[in-house]
Amino acid sequence: MPFSWIERPALVTGATGIVGSWLCEALLERGARVIAMVLDDDPQSRFYAESIDRRCAVVRGNLAEFTDCMRAINTHDADVVFHLGAQTIVGAALRDPLECFESNIRGTYNLLEAARRLPGLASRFVVASSDKAYGDSEILPYTEDMPLQGSHPYDVSKSCTDLLSHTYAHTYDMSVTIARCGNIYGAGDLNWSRIVPGTIRSLFLGERPILRSDGTMIRDYIYVRDVISAYILLAERATEDGVRGQAFNFSTGNKHNVLEIVERIGAAMSVAADPVIENSARMEILNQTLDSAKARKQLAWTSEWDLDRGLRETVAWYRAFLSRNAIAGR
């Protein structure tokens, strides 16, 4: 019988984040009954500002509290779980590793354990991981059979998230799948320290964007719409042999350094970027690229958004957002 999202209860943790808001919206469009787990309310977030919350059952809770995880799944009969909730800022994790570990590691095993204890619920479980889980490697691009060896707080938290997910899939025969993406960009990211929203805001204000690195770091950049298609596809295929218990890289296959990203944003906004290069970043992985051949072969997934097209749509959203909310200087 074909998989259907109609009236299927789907729990999304981290719903107020960039990916969470897009995922909730996409699931609603497919007819799912969405349960959104949030920690803090932010009226500026796309989840609230675009009234996505009004079509969801909103559960306020902390992933680090096991009872909150149980309540989110049990009370709403969640059949599919998308675990996106995490502390996602590398600098914040460096300043406060305990909070990062509580959110990302404890939060993951709490949610997985809650699912394990509720037979008949959470039949499909998608974990949002990151290329950071691989840590530093002289061999690139990363492939899924490479070791997970994060060294710094955020990277280690993602390595642990992956290993915990693997444990529950293979020890308890749960239909858990793992998605590893690079730098996700698109409408709704209000973490201005990130290169895409930060650069757009600086150029919108007529300021020079500030680069914490020397601009030569190479990363995978993937548009949020591509990520959503990957997550939903994983959920739909999660019970299949060859997918259940597996991790998949999702990438456009193109790599860009930070300076190039800033220049492309400037081109999308028809201004010269002329960034200030601080070169103050520390304890960050130098170069990261992903090989998504496994996703192409086993899931028939391919990226549909190139960088320039994704940036044009992203810039248009931020222009409207910054103008509408008059948050210049925030």
Which active-site residues does the annotation give?
Answer: 154
In the chain, where does DSSP find H-type helix?
A: 18-29, 46-49, 66-74, 90-95, 97-101, 107-116, 153-171, 195-204, 224-237, 258-268, 293-299, 307-325
Q: Which helix (H) or strand (E) holds 31?
A: none
Helix 18-29, helix 224-237: angle, nearest 10: 60
Euclidean distance between the first and the last CA atom of the chain, given in angstroms as a whole number = 50
Token readout for 144 is 């899924």
Task: Centre a 10 Å sphere on the Cβ of residue 229 and count the other Cβ atoms it contains.
Answer: 17
Give the strand pairing for 33-38 and 9-13: parallel
Helix 195-204, helix 307-325: angle, nearest 10: 50
Residue type, 53: D
- Give the Cα separation of 94 and 303 in Å (integer): 32
Distance of CA 202 to the CA centre of its chain: 23
Name the 3-class secondary structure at 274: coil
DSSP state of 103: I
What does the DSSP assignment read for 54-93?
Answer: GGSEEEE--TTSHHHHHHHHHTTT-SEEEE--S---HHHH
Give the strand pairing for 218-223 and 255-257: antiparallel
